[in-house]
Structure 1
Amino acid sequence: VRVSPTEELKEYFSQFGSVQRCQLPFDKDTGFHRRYGWIKFSAPEDVQNVFQKDAHVLEGAKLALKQQTRRRRSQRKNPSE
């Protein structure tokens, strides 16, 4: 049974904490996953655990990680003002 790349990524990062969501965008034109994705952890401490490790290698590929800061939704202004 072959595991999907998304499941492999989720399984790998589960060693650092509880993975809430894992997304790997798929390119319909090429038929392959794009070379980036998102992993959402349940707690900020889990993210810090990931960055404690110097290098992450999955299936022979070194992963380049970036931490995304939480974006706040911009408040809508009332158009009548």
Structure 2
Amino acid sequence: MAGLTLFVGRLPPSARSEQLEELFSQVGPVKQCFVVTEKGSKACRGFGYVTFSMLEDVQRALKEITTFEGCKINVTVAKKKLRNKTKAK
């Protein structure tokens, strides 16, 4: 289903998936949640993704969740990544 995954930007390097899930669980059950980390490190690259099962929970999260550990974050509906079917040689 389209529009059930949120992109969460402006996360601090200390952000962890468990913290993000705890925050977003306040608006509804989280289906999947993860922060993107630096290769070979546990440091957050500054963004993550949260997937809900219901569109109502997505809409609530967009309205209600604006901060993470006291810092302003950017929450938007995630866009699908377009992948080329043919790879350059």
Q: Which is worse superposed, 59-68 or 35-44?
A: 59-68
Report the secondary structure of 1:17's partner residue.
Answer: coil
Shift of the alpha carbon at 1:31? 4.8
Shift of the alpha carbon at 1:68? 2.2
TM-score, scaled relative to structure 2: 0.64
CA distance in 2, matches of 1:68, 1:48: 13
User: Taking every aligned residue pair, what percent have the same amino acid on both sides?
Assistant: 31
Q: Which residue of structure 1 aligns with residue 70 of structure 2?
A: 60
Aligned residues: 69
Structure 1 alignment gaps of length 5 or more? 77-81
Shift of the alpha carbon at 1:52? 2.5
Shift of the alpha carbon at 1:30? 5.9
Structure 2 alignment gaps of length 5 or more? 1-14
Q: Does 1:10 pair with 2:39?
A: no
| More relative contact order, 1 or 2 (CA 8 Å, 6+ apart) | 2
Shift of the alpha carbon at 1:29? 5.6
CA distance in 1, matches of 2:27, 2:69: 18
Give CA-to-partner distance per residue, 1:36-62, whole Å, 9 cap, x none: 110000111100111222x51111211
RMSD over aligned CA atoms reads 2.6
CA distance in 2, matches of 1:16, 1:31: 27
